[in-house]
Amino acid sequence: MSEAIIQVKHLEKRIKGKTIIDDLSFDLYRGEVLGFLGPNGAGKTTTMRMMLGLISITSGDVIIDGHSVKNAKEKALGRVGGIVENPEMYKFLSGYDNLKHFRRMYEDVPDSRIDEVVELVKLKDAIHRKVKTYSLGMRQRLGIAQALLHRPDVLILDEPTNGLDPAGIRELRDYLRKLAKEENMAIFISSHILSEMELICDRILIIQNGKITSTQEIRETTEEVLSVLFEVEPKTKALEVLHQLPDLQVREEKGWLVVEAKREDIPQINAALVKANIQVYAIRRTQKSLEDRFLELTEGSVVQ
Ligand SMILES: Nc1ncnc2c1ncn2[C@@H]1O[C@H](COP(=O)(O)OP(=O)(O)O)[C@@H](O)[C@H]1O
Ligand SMILES: [Mg+2]
């Protein structure tokens, strides 16, 4: 894989003696969309605020392109664009005037770049209207336009799908994936909605109670345990055969035998059945969705 543009190292945040972020470490690479998934109160916004230098870091550090957010904040954040929670907007100004205002924070953002980002987030028709007339989705898109103004290498977006309708989410997804793949940007995006993350991201970190509890590769599933359904006769004899195979979990469900196995084990299971003269009528693979896994992982956890 390419170099890590962000390294989060043993990051901690304590507020009034309470540990909110607890020893968080991960890397973000160029060209990838990394998801940060967790229930409300898990610590996503707090982590992103520390990464963007908006609040202090209790211990640990965030290294961006070799620079420490703790000790060299300006250098570290120069190539980063971000929106955290509801982006600050001037409601009585137009979208366009808001962008012109934010442009002042950076050098070298010509008018043509403003037009470009407006086009990208599809706000062209509304850009000269006052922001107070915008829907939540339009405000989110204006926030993303603002984060992109200075052509950052890294984008940090806190729940950017909030307030978007399904079509808007699809557009955002296509756009973020394009930025990552074609511009080699690194994108870190949080959400509490699993199905969205699964579509947008290459990799997902799951955060609970301030800790990363799991990392999921979305596009690599070969090592994954699948539920495989077998339609066989006679079932009792088939169960006996399968119980003799090592490390295999088998159960009967709605007339099917359900086997938990890796993809590569399926031919051997089938061969064992056939060898024992069992009639195999169908084999069906069902992959556990991220949602199943997320619910398994977060079951019983306290949501604050
Ligand atoms: N300034 C603060 N003072 C006290 N507690 C806070 C503060 N900011 C966040 N928290 C607590 O930290 C936890 C994580 O919050 P947050 O980062 O907003 O989670 P998320 O964005 O995942 O919903 C929550 O329990 C929240 O109440
Ligand atoms: Mg949040």
Segment 230-240, tens digit of pLDDT: 999 999 999 99
Question: Looking at the predicted structure, is the pLDDT value of residue 204 above 50?
Answer: yes
Residue-range domains of the chain with CATH? 4-217 (3.40.50.300), 225-286 (3.30.70.980)
* Residue 192 Cβ contacting ligand 1 at under 6 Å: no
What's residue 89's pLDDT? 84
Question: Looking at the predicted structure, is the pLDDT value of residue 215 above 90?
Answer: no
Å from CA of 146 to ligand 1 middle: 25
What's residue 171's pLDDT? 78
Distance CA 185, CA 153 (A): 5
Q: How much of the chain, in percent, has pLDDT values that exceed 70?
A: 90
The band of 127, judged by pLDDT with boundaries at 50, 70 and 90, is very high
* Residue 303 Cβ contacting ligand 1 at under 6 Å: no
Give the closest residue (by CA) to ligand 1 atom 10: 20
What's residue 247's pLDDT? 77
Distance CA 274, CA 293 (A): 32
Q: Which residue has the higher pLDDT, 225 or 219?
A: 225
- In sign, the C-alpha dihedral spanning 21, 25, 28, 32 is negative
Distance CA 34, CA 188 (A): 5
Question: Looking at the predicted structure, is the pLDDT value of residue 164 above 90?
Answer: no
Look up residue 148 and give its DSSP letter: H
The band of 262, judged by pLDDT with boundaries at 50, 70 and 90, is confident
The band of 303, judged by pLDDT with boundaries at 50, 70 and 90, is very low
Top-confidence range, 107-111, 277-281, 287-291, 299-303: 277-281
Give the chain's mean pLDDT: 88
What's residue 288's pLDDT? 60
The band of 292, judged by pLDDT with boundaries at 50, 70 and 90, is low
Q: What is the pTM of this model?
A: 0.75
- The ligand 1 atom at the shortest distance from the C-alpha of residue 49 is 17
| Mean local confidence (pLDDT), 23-32 | 95
**Best residue for ligand 1 mutational test, from 45, 46, 86, 303 (most atoms within 8 Å of Cβ):** 46
**Best residue for ligand 1 mutational test, from 13, 16, 19, 20 (most atoms within 8 Å of Cβ):** 20
| Mean local confidence (pLDDT), 155-176 | 83
Q: Which residue has the higher pLDDT, 71 or 220?
A: 71
Give the closest residue (by CA) to ligand 1 atom 27: 41
Question: Looking at the predicted structure, is the pLDDT value of residue 12 above 70?
Answer: yes
Q: Which residue has the higher pLDDT, 261 or 30?
A: 30
- The ligand 1 atom at the shortest distance from the C-alpha of residue 42 is 22
Å from CA of 47 to ligand 2 middle: 9
Strands annotated E in the chain:
4-15, 18-29, 33-37, 59-64, 67-68, 80-83, 154-158, 186-191, 203-208, 211-217, 225-233, 249-253, 256-262, 279-286
* Residue 304 Cβ contacting ligand 1 at under 6 Å: yes
**Ligand sitting nearest the alpha carbon of 85:** 2
* Residue 54 Cβ contacting ligand 1 at under 6 Å: no
**Ligand sitting nearest the alpha carbon of 84:** 2
Of 15-19, 61-65, 264-268, 284-288, least confident by mean pLDDT is 284-288
What's residue 199's pLDDT? 78
Give the closest residue (by CA) to ligand 1 atom 7: 15
Question: Looking at the predicted structure, is the pLDDT value of residue 299 above 80?
Answer: no
Neighbours of 52 (CB within 10 A): 21
Distance CA 60, CA 25 (A): 9
* Residue 191 Cβ contacting ligand 1 at under 6 Å: no
Å from CA of 40 to ligand 2 middle: 6
